[in-house]
Amino acid sequence: MRLAQSAEQEQFAAALHDMLTAADVPGAARRWAAGDRSPGLAIWRGLAGLGVTALAVPEKRGGLGASPVDLVVACEDLGHHALPGPVAESVAAVPGLLTVLIDQELDDQAPDDQAPDDQRPGDQRLGGERPGNEDLCARWLSGLAAGDLIAALALPPRLPYAADADAAGLVLLVEGDVAALAVAGARHQSLDPTRSLFEARGDQVLARGPAVADAATRALNLGTLASAAQLLGAGRALLEASVRHAGQRVQFGQPVGAFQAVKHHLADVAIGLEFARPLLDAAAVAVAAGSTTVPRDVSAAKVACADAAHRAARVALQVHGAIGYTQEHDLSLWLTKVRALIPAWGSQAEHRAVVMAALTGDGEAPCP
């Protein structure tokens, strides 16, 4: 179902899907995992060409100022293709964070003299100037929109690491009521071979105080929404791969997909995905409207999309059998990404707790 998918959104989704299909994303993901970012970054430039990176950037900052509904359409397809890189951060959360920060009071100081050091990737784009923080945020936003800049984000405790900070030209850390430009510290390898996790160290304070809390909330809502969309897309890809495999793989003289045990597993996957989608779409509409139900709706969407993707991944592995348990098979790219994204942006338990907190506040329990 789509609550609000317009003809334009369908065209946009189709164009994005065609671009990614032609781009050999699995090949780029494998190169990315091996440390060669160039094919992956080329795909990211392609995203910019289609406007994906500009969706969450306001028009006056060089972006499209698109609705979160459009963002969800795009992120679902990025998940469908298991695109490597900090998707939810760079396309959704960081634009949201910067947009709120720039409209609030920023520390209007020049960066400290002792920072930044030469290694900091953002420097190239800053051209060695010493602009104020508002200028910085404005430049980053236009850089993100244009696709010249990829952003990573750490926002503990929900987001303890800055994922793919080494591929990002901008690393931000939001901790408590402080938002800072950060440098990437120790690196940890994720279960997802295309995903590197970095400890982030604050380097230059951009803003502090209550404004940061608003910005962090916006970033978490958009990032969680985007990751839920990625999970739904990945789940859909896993179902498609499983149906293809089950139709081709012959055992006992017939395709394994003719066996009822296999059919029923795959039907359950389809049901889970079908009924997660309306929650995702409704959450996007709530975010777009600035509704008071945003925390509840975003968390409900994440719970359902993560559960649906998890089921899709388990069944996909089971239906593929031993070949699915190999790194060689492309299925591994989706299986590991789904497992990594499920707890990212808040665990299932945290999101269920958010839903229940919203339901058990004052007054009657709201009708779903």
Q: Does 314 bind other proteins (CB under 8 A)?
A: no
Cβ 292 to other proteins shortest distance, Å: 11
Among 20, 141, 183, 282, binds other proteins (CB under 8 A): 282
Which of these, 367, 217, 358, 368, lies nearest to 282 by C-alpha position?
Answer: 368
Backbone φ, ψ for residue 99 (5° rounding): -65, -40
Backbone φ, ψ for residue 188 (5° rounding): -125, 140
Site string (285-304) toward other proteins, x via CB under 8 A: xx--x-x-x---x--x--xx
Biggest CA–CA distance in the chain, Å, is 73
Which of these, 173, 199, 203, lies nearest to 186 by C-alpha position?
Answer: 199
Tokens of 361: 């506040």
Instruction: Provide the 3-class DSSP secondary structure of residue 269.
Output: helix
Rounded CA separation 150/169 (Å): 5
Q: Does 312 bind other proteins (CB under 8 A)?
A: no
Contact between residue 140 and residue 151 where contact means Cβ atoms under 8 Å apart: yes
Strand 196-208 with 162-163, pairing: antiparallel
Contacts of other proteins in 216-275 (CB under 8 A): 239, 243, 246-247, 254-255, 257-258, 260, 262-264, 266-268, 270-271, 274-275
Among 114, 128, 360, 362, binds other proteins (CB under 8 A): 360
Among 2, 201, 208, 314, binds other proteins (CB under 8 A): 2
CB-wise, 127 or 157, nearer to other proteins? 157
What DSSP designation does 20 have? H
CB-wise, 22 or 367, nearer to other proteins? 367
Cβ 279 to other proteins shortest distance, Å: 5
Note the residues at the interface with other proteins (CB under 8 A): 1-3, 239, 243, 246-247, 254-255, 257-258, 260, 262-264, 266-268, 270-271, 274-279, 281-282, 285-286, 289, 291, 293, 297, 300, 303-304, 348-349, 352-353, 355-356, 359-360, 364-368
